Amino acid sequence: MFKILAVVVASISIGASAVPALSQGNDPYIFDLDSPQLDVRASLGDNTDNEFLKYGYPGPVSDFLLRSRYATSFNRALRNPNWVAEHLTLANLNGTADRSNADFKEDKDIPVMFRAHLKDYYRSGFDRGHMCPAADAKKDDQAMKETFLLTNMTPQVGVGFNRNYWAYLEAFVRDLTKSFDDVYCISGPLYLPVQEDGKWYVKYQVIGNPPNVAVPTHFFKVVLVKQGSDFSLGAFALPNKAIDNSTPLTDFDVPVETVEKAAGLVFFDKLERTSVTPLCSKTKCSFK
């Protein structure tokens, strides 16, 4: 049996202030699972052939989109990606495509009523934050342009986060290709509860007129690296707010299971996790 720590949301100190973040909580508890990776892949299949769904299956629908340099699952209700997955190597990071030739665009693969729209971000106070960074897609102009689709975007605080700390984390992931053969990265938003008056609430802003796109409270990156036959895995969860550049990256290092529980996702479930070492034990988790 594997022991997995059940995680809750609490506050950790970041610089001089405390912000909601993923942590172990004050009184964590342990429960037993037959496997560290629960089987949550059961599909609907043909089970819509019944009297209850005689005239149609209402959803939810998570649009799966495969691009040149990433794959993503899009959440129609929140108008944000559920996750964006990448595979990085020294070779596939090479290229000469220039982001100045790319424009932000709505994704026509998503029905109009469920899309994020360019006007939603207009004067919202938030950046259109890449989940797959443009710098990861220099392969060619098409790959670069695909990173500017709004299905790869989510509202991020600009100064101090998207343009700074989050960008440094993106560069850290790219730099891992200098030490490892393969780097797999899955990024996405989180919507975490905050405690007020002894009760927990999930609160997030919605931008657009009318309100259309949810503003995540946090973001995650789950990173798997491979060198030969050895794998290492790590996860980082950051609040969607300005973060002081001097804050150690290890302040945001959390168990992968913590992100899985918060996001309702399972990462790299084809690997036996007990044979995978922690990422930050194999490389220095810091910005140069």
pLDDT band at 13 (very low <50, low <70, confident <90, very high): very low
The pLDDT assigned to 156 comes to: 98
**Residue 100, C-beta contacts closer than 8 angstroms, at least 6 positions apart:** none
Q: Which is nearest to 100 in space by CA: 145, 59, 56, 67?
A: 145
Q: Which of the pair, 56 or 237, is modelled with greater confidence?
A: 237
Instruction: Retrieve residue 8's tokens.
Output: 């809750």
Q: Of all residues in the chain, what percent carry a pLDDT higher than 90?
A: 78
Instruction: Retrieve residue 1's tokens.
Output: 């049996």
Q: To 5 degrees, how large is the angle CA 176–CA 135–CA 234?
A: 35
The stretch 201-219 carries a mean pLDDT of 97
The stretch 231-248 carries a mean pLDDT of 98
pLDDT band at 8 (very low <50, low <70, confident <90, very high): very low
Does the pLDDT at position 6 exceed 80? no
Average pLDDT, the chain: 87
Task: Report the alpha-carbon distance of residue 114 to residue 136 in Å, rounded.
Answer: 27
CA distances from 282 to 171, 176, 245, 276, 287 (A): 18, 11, 23, 11, 15
71-130 pLDDT, tens per residue? 999 999 999 999 999 999 999 999 999 999 899 999 999 999 999 999 999 999 999 999
pLDDT band at 50 (very low <50, low <70, confident <90, very high): confident
Does the pLDDT at position 36 exceed 90? no
154-207 pLDDT, tens per residue? 999 999 999 999 999 999 999 999 999 999 999 999 999 999 999 999 999 999
**Pairing mode, strands 213-214 and 206-207:** antiparallel
What Rg do the C-alpha atoms of the chain give, in angstroms?
Answer: 19
The pLDDT assigned to 245 comes to: 96
C-beta neighbour count of 135 within 10 angstroms: 17
Detail the DSSP E strand segments found in 37-123. 62-66, 71-75, 80-88
What pTM, to 2 d.p., does this model score? 0.86
Q: Which is nearest to 154 in space by CA: 128, 191, 119?
A: 128
Q: Is 164 helix (H, G, I), strand (E, B) or coil?
A: helix
CA distances from 171 to 84, 88, 163, 174, 178 (A): 16, 12, 12, 5, 12
Q: Do residues 236 and 249 make contact, with C-beta atoms less than 8 angstroms apart?
A: yes
The pLDDT assigned to 46 comes to: 60
**Residue 48, C-beta contacts closer than 8 angstroms, at least 6 positions apart:** 57
130 classed as catalytic:
yes
Q: Which of the pair, 137 or 20, is modelled with greater confidence?
A: 137
Instruction: Retrieve residue 270's tokens.
Output: 């084809």
Q: Which of the pair, 239 or 7, is modelled with greater confidence?
A: 239
Does the pLDDT at position 12 exceed 90? no
Q: Which is nearest to 276 in space by CA: 258, 255, 262, 247?
A: 255
Detail the DSSP E strand segments found in the chain. 2-6, 8-14, 17-23, 29-33, 62-66, 71-75, 80-88, 127-130, 153-156, 182-190, 193-196, 199-202, 206-207, 213-214, 218-227, 230-239, 253-254, 277-278
The stretch 223-240 carries a mean pLDDT of 98
Does the pLDDT at position 28 exceed 60? no
Catalytic residue among 87, 117, 130, 218: 130
Q: Is 213 helix (H, G, I), strand (E, B) or coil?
A: strand
The pLDDT assigned to 154 comes to: 98
The pLDDT assigned to 121 comes to: 98
